[in-house]
Amino acid sequence: MTTEEKDGITIVVTDDRLDALVAATLKDTVKQLAEAGKLKILIDMGQTKFIDSAGCGALVASLRVLIKNQGDMKIARPSQQVQTLFELTRLHRVFEIFDEIDAAARSFA
């Protein structure tokens, strides 16, 4: 998992798996970013091929932390498998999901 800044937005790039092994890392990363005043978070899932319930929980927990701090989080480029899981679990109604990073970044305006 890596992070980068672009035009006031912090992009968190997830690895090929977002599961129980890395879920805590994602939550901690977003919490630290929020505490540092970085409240516009874009989760780039372009490389993520697998997500489990712990990964979904980490995304929801991260969104809650940001909302609590008057921030926001968007998801970009989920694979078809990840998008299907979001739809099955109805998380596509919780998250703003975009096919492209640029479209997600523009939506913060």
pTM confidence score: 0.95
N residues, the chain: 109
Residues 47, 16: contact at Cβ < 8 Å? yes
- Note the pLDDT tens digit of each residue in 54-97: 999 999 999 999 999 999 999 999 999 999 999 999 999 999 99
Residues 25, 56: contact at Cβ < 8 Å? no
What DSSP line would sit under 38-87, residue for residue?
--EEEEE-TT--EE-HHHHHHHHHHHHHHHHTT-EEEEE---HHHHHHHH
Which tokens go with 65? Answer: 């932390």
pLDDT value for 109: 84
- Residues 9, 37: Cα–Cα separation, whole Å: 11
When pLDDT is averaged across residues 3-31 and rounded to a whole number, the result is: 96
Strands 9-13 and 2-6: antiparallel
CB atoms within 10 A of CB 4: 11
The pLDDT-based confidence of 10 (bands split at 50, 70, 90) is: very high
Structural domains in the chain, CATH included, are 2-106 (3.30.750.24)
Percent of the chain clearing pLDDT 70 (strictly above): 100
